[in-house]
Amino acid sequence: MKIACLQFAPQVGDVDNNLNRADAILHKAKAVDLEGLDLLVLPELAFTGYNFKSLQQISPFLEPPGSGISSLWARTTALKYDCVVVVGYPEKVDVTAQWPASPEYYNSALMVNGDGDTIANYRKSFLYYTDETWALEGREGFFQGDIPGLGNVAMGICMDLNPYQFEAPWEDFEFGFHALDVEANVVILTMAWSTQQDTRLFSRRPQEPDLETLVYWVQRLEPLIHAEIDEEVIVIFCNRTGAEGDAMYVGTSAVLGIKAGEVFVYGVLG
């Protein structure tokens, strides 16, 4: 399986330039690296930026499921490279056909296959405090689905990896047990994960991954490791980088394998 993480630094509300940044990275990539690509994963809220302060601020950038700019980019890119594309976006759902109510808003991730068809739309279950200013919790739990070419996929978004609202017991491992219970072959996490370190110190080593964060992510998948599964489980963390206001994002996108109680690192970015 050939996997790519498109790690970059989107800025809040700068959709056109964010799209151009993503395209520029793909254009600069070596052709051989994109040949035979199976899966391309982008960060959480990849083209809108993440650090919105209110529903009013994010409102101009909300997208209907399957027909917004993020969906268009995902379809175009999936068709170009004949691969599955996963991209995070802010979803607006018109519910008036079901009952008279205001639209619903979710922090979501869209999955498009190599034919350009939308095959999954997952809504973030565990919200970070930034999400709570505008989004609702997804009601259907973490994603699970049998995806042709990938196998049995579990998918979450960033905060889903943490204990619920940082209040649930550490050992609940909600997302980790989900991936184990559904017998996932591939685990995808699209992220906007920030650092608690001093931003000036953190920025001095831009090429180095944040190993403390990577270790934390792996720890939150402890159920998969302790299960000592004989068949390898591939885990993709696609995080963003750069700064938005007072938030500095850690990058450190990685592709790991978990098998028989061991963790293998196949690739990690700075």
Is there a contact between 159 and 131 (Cβ–Cβ < 8 Å)? Answer: yes
For this structure, is 80 an active site residue?
A: no
Catalytic residue among 5, 83, 158, 238: 158
The rounded distance, in Å, linking the Cα atoms of 4 and 30 is 12
Catalytic residue among 63, 91, 92, 124: 124
Known catalytic residue at 158: yes
**Active-site residue (options: 5, 44, 63, 238):** 44
Told to judge if 228 belongs to the known catalytic residues of this protein, a careful annotator would answer: no
Instruction: List active site positions.
Output: 44, 124, 158
